[in-house]
Every structure is written in C-alpha cells, then in structure tokens.
Amino acid sequence: MNVVEIEVKPRDARDWIVRWLGAGHFISKAVLANAPVGHGHFRTCITKEAASKPLPDFERGWVANSKDVDIWLAGVLDDLTLQGAKCVIVEDDLSSPSNPRLITDPTPTAFIHDRVFSWSDINPGDGLMAIKRVMGVGSGYPRNAFVTTHSAAELGFVHGTQAPEEFPRKVAESLLAVMVAIFDAETFLVWTPDDHDSSDEM
C-alpha cells in the first residue's frame, strides 16, 4: 500500500469539514448543528512520496491509487467498530428518489424528502465490504459519510422508504466519525471527536 495515514492540524482541517457539511443535506446539517466538529482529531492518507512535503490545499487535485485509499479507509472503519461503530451512512448528492437506478441497485437506500442516502451496517472486519458497498454512492463534492453507534434498524432505516424525520438528529447523537471527500474526491478527511479542548492547536 503506497499511502500513509497522517494527522492533520485542526486549524487546517476544520474549515473544510464545516464547509462540506454546510454544503450537504439533512444529515450533514444536523451533524454541523449538533456535533463538535470544530475540535477533535483529523486525519487523511497521502502517498508515501508526498508525506514529507507540505500538505496541499484540500481543493487541489491529487493522484492516489483508489484501491490503496479504500484499504486505508476500510482500516479506519474496522478500528471504529472496536469503539462501537455499527453503521456507515453516505449522503447521495446526485440522485433523487425517482432515479431508476435505485430500483435495481442492491445498496440499501432510503429517502428524506427529496434527498437520498445509503448505508451499510458494519461489524469488526467488515470495513472493506462497507467501503465497496456505499462509498461510491455519492461522487464529487460534497461527499459526506457518517459513522454511528446505532445500527440501521435502530435509526429506523427501511430500504426504499422515507426515513423517520428525527433520524438526522439520532445520527448526530450517536456519531463516531465524519468522512468528507478531499483532493478532488481522491481520498477522505476523517474527523473523530476527542475528550480534550483542541483550542491550543489552533
């Protein structure tokens, strides 16, 4: 694998997280309003050759092997399952509930008003399966994903139906991580909360 994980300073990462949550839909808006995404840990993966250089701006294109990125992100999800993660949810910025693709696509999908989201329940060791199942659903910017301690059933998801009105709040309340696309959607910036005030890192 030709990518390595790096920690990103909050002052460099928080604006990007806030920006793309603000550009998202119902889940993103609920998370932005209720989760402390301005503080915590931020990490991404970058090629080994690039790791010794200053981190480029998140809006710039960047070349990565998508299989390497998937393996890294799968490892992140596997680690999160050890902390209680049960589900990863991805907002679809392109589809509408009337999209014919949704009828034949086996990926679990539900709706909130005129917006679409997909999900995958996860258990330890399921990270790569979950990545292949849902992380390709959205594309471009924003592509926002959320990892929760609630399963899809606990959140009230039923494939092909409208989701409960309160579920974005439940996502925010059970949040373990936020993942947003960066570097021209080549990889992801991952936010996880922590127990200390990160103001000294600003």
Output the pLDDT for position 197.
40
What was the pLDDT predicted at 20? Answer: 93
Tally Cβ neighbours within 10 Å of residue 149.
Answer: 15
Q: What is the pLDDT of residue 140?
A: 65
Contact 177, 130 (CB under 8 A): no
Cα 118 to the center of its chain, rounded Å: 12
Predicted local distance difference test score (pLDDT) of residue 195: 62
The residues near 27 (Cβ < 8 Å, ≥ 6 apart) are 89, 91, 112, 117, 144, 146, 168, 171
- Of 46, 56, 24, 51, residue with least CA distance to 37: 24
* Side-chain-facing half-sphere of 1: CA atoms under 13 Å: 15
pLDDT recorded at residue 128: 94
**Nearest partner of 41 among 200, 197, 191, judged by Cα:** 191
Question: So what's the pLDDT on residue 184?
Answer: 83
Q: Which residues of 72-108 are buried (b: 16+ CB within 10 A; e: fewer)?
A: bbbbbbbebbeeebbbbbbbbbebebeeeebeeeebb
Measured between alpha carbons, how far is 140 from 28 in angstroms, rounded to an integer? 16
Contact (CB, 8 A) for 118 and 107: yes
DSSP string, 145-170: EEEESS-HHHHT--TTSBPPTTHHHH
The residue ranges of the chain whose pLDDT is under 70 are 138-140, 195-202
The pLDDT, as a whole number, for residue 200 is 38
Report CA dihedral (91, 165, 123, 2) to the nearest 10 degrees. Answer: 20
Residue 94 is encoded by which pair of tokens?
Answer: 């392109």
- The tens digit of pLDDT for each residue in 116-149 reads 999 999 999 999 999 988 877 766 678 899 999 9
Query: Model pTM?
Result: 0.91
